[in-house]
Amino acid sequence: MLEVDEIGSMSNSRSQNMARIRASDTGPEILLRRRLWASGLRYRVNYRTPGGRADIAVPSERFAVFVDGCFWHGCPDHYVCPRSASPFWSGKLRENFQRDRRQTQSLLGAGWRVARIWEHEINEELPVIAEKVLSVYRREKPHIINDFRVVLVEAKKHTDRELRHLQSLLDPRWRRTEEGPRVTRKVGPVPRTLVFSSEVEEGPF
């Protein structure tokens, strides 16, 4: 677990663990790249697009692929908020969400086709995900985007429950709040109850 010397200060162990997480050339990225290359797709890696660096891109076709890590990008199935220093991690999650939204909207606005894939999807069903990506490249689909993302996790006091607030990457009006058991490690889908869903304007979280 995360040890904190004072509010907002992480222990060396947590800092060192996070530093080891690759920002690019992750295992899932490499698996997907190999599969796409074997399928005949020729691409650029870590290419700077109008919306920022894409993990995979075909600039001449205005096509970009992003492989989103479950922890850093708020995967609805696998995101786990560290129990300590939660203001720090909540802020980091929100920053990443806003960046992902800017990237996606900028690229779509510039006429690019975008595929955003969760890392766990590649690990679980690589052939299916590769074919979905290729379908966007072939213009059979306009884009594939893992839309709803966790933007805030609130522990319910004196219980083992938590509230997870999710927001749409494409449309800021769409939000959800789910309640379920508090998780402390990366697991598969957890049974949760939808307690709120509405089209609303930007709010406090």
Residue-wise pLDDT for 125-137, tens only, equals 999 999 999 999 9
Local confidence band at 183 (pLDDT 50, 70, 90 cut-offs):
confident
Name the DSSP letter for residue 7: T
Report how far residue 173's alpha carbon sits from residue 71's, in angstroms, rounded to the nearest whole number. Answer: 23
Dihedral of alpha carbons 20, 23, 29, 33, sign: negative
Mean pLDDT of the chain: 86
**Can you say how many angstroms the Cα of residue 182 is from the centroid of all Cα atoms in its chain?**
20
Please compute the mean of the pLDDT values over residues 39-47 and round it to a whole number: 97
Could you tell me the two tokens for 84?
């300590």
For residue 76, how many other CB atoms are within 10 A of its CB? Answer: 19
Cα dihedral angle (116, 119, 20, 164), rounded to 10 degrees? 80
Q: Write down the residue that tokens 């072939």 correspond to.
A: 138
Under 8 Å between Cβ of 164 and 150: yes
* Class of domain 11-147 (CATH, top level): alpha beta
112: DSSP letter:
-
Tell me the one-letter amino acid at 205.
F
The Cα 179–Cα 155 span in angstroms is 10
- Residue in 119, 125, 147 with CA at minimum distance from that of residue 29: 119
Helix, strand or coil for residue 22? coil
pTM of structure: 0.83
**For residues 18 and 16, what is the distance between their CA atoms, to the nearest angstrom?**
5
What's the mean pLDDT in 28-43? Answer: 98
Q: Which of 114, 102, 122 is nearest to 172 (CA)?
A: 102
How much is the pLDDT for 4? 30
Q: What's the CA gap between 37 and 204, in Å, rounded?
A: 43
Query: pLDDT confidence of 102, banded at 50, 70, 90?
Result: very high
pLDDT at 23: 55
Whether residue 61 is predicted with pLDDT greater than 60 in this model: the reply is: yes
Instruction: Name the residue type at position 173.
Output: R
User: Would you place residue 41 in the very low, low, confident or very high pLDDT band (cuts 50, 70, 90)?
Assistant: very high
Percentage of the chain exceeding pLDDT 90: 72
Q: Is 80 exceeded by the pLDDT of residue 205?
A: no
Distance CA 185, CA 62 (A): 38
